[in-house]
Amino acid sequence: MPSDLAKLGIERAPHRSLMKAMGYDDSDISRPWVGIVSTHSEIIPGHIHLARLVEAVKLGVSSNGGTPIMFSTIGVCDGIAMNHEGMKYSLPSRELIADSVEVMARAHQFDALVMVCNCDKIVPAMVMAAARLNIPSIVVSGGPMLAGRWRGKDVDLSTMFEAVGAVKAGRLAEDELYELENAACPGCGSCAGMFTANTMNCLVEALGMGLPGNGTIPAVMGHRVRLAKEAGRRVMDLLRMGIKPRDILTREAFENAIAVDVALGGSTNTVLHLTAIAHEAGVGLDLDVFDRISRRTPHICNMSPGGPHHIQDLYYAGGIQAVMKILQSGGLINDECLTATGKPVRENLERARVMDHEVIRPLDRAYHREGGLAILRGNLAPEGAVVKQSAVLPEMMTYVGKARSFDSEDEATRAIFEGRIKPGDIVVIRYEGPQGGPGMREMLTPTSALAGMGLDSRVGLITDGRFSGATRGAAIGHVSPEAAAGGPIAVVQDGDEIEVDIPNRRLTLKVPGEELERRLKAWRPVPGKAMGGYLARYSRAVESGSKGAIFGSEHR
Active-site annotation, residues = 468
Tell me the C-alpha to C-alpha distance, in Å, between residue 201 and each of 26, 31, 215. Answer: 37, 30, 4
Yes or no: say if 397 and 374 are a contact pair by the CB < 8 Å rule: no
Closest CA to 65 of 245, 238, 244: 238
Q: Checking DSSP bridges between strand 148-150 and strand 137-141, what pairing results, if any?
A: unpaired
CA distance 204 to 214: 8
- Helix 196-207 vs helix 319-329: crossing angle, to nearest 10: 60
Rg of the Cα atoms in the chain: 23
What dihedral angle (degrees, nearest 10) is formed by the CA atoms of 405, 406, 411, 412? 50
Yes or no: say if 235 and 114 are a contact pair by the CB < 8 Å rule: yes
CA distance 240 to 436: 46
Tell me the C-alpha to C-alpha distance, in Å, between residue 46 and each of 24, 377, 467. Answer: 31, 35, 19
CA distance 255 to 456: 32
Q: Name the strands in the sheet holding 112-117, side by side, starting at the edge strand that comes first in the sequence.
A: 67-72, 33-38, 112-117, 137-141
Q: What are phi and psi of 199, to 5 degrees?
A: -60, -45
Instruction: Report which secondary-structure segment, H or E, holds 427.
Output: strand 425-429
How far does CA 12 lie from the centroid of its chain? 42
Long-range contact set of residues 351-356: C-beta below 8 Å, sequence gap at least 24: 352/212, 352/318, 352/319, 352/321, 352/322, 352/324, 352/325, 353/318, 353/322, 353/325, 354/317, 354/318, 354/322, 354/325, 354/326, 355/316, 355/317, 355/318, 355/322, 356/313, 356/316, 356/317, 356/318
> Cα–Cα–Cα angle for 265, 271, 273, nearest 5°?
115
Which residues have a Cβ under 8 Å from the Cβ of 97 and sit 6 or more positions away?
39, 73, 74, 75, 121, 122, 125, 126, 129
Yes or no: say if 333 and 327 are a contact pair by the CB < 8 Å rule: yes
Q: Checking DSSP bridges between strand 475-480 and strand 381-388, what pairing results, if any?
A: antiparallel
Closest CA to 456 of 43, 191, 169: 169
Strand partners, 401: 498
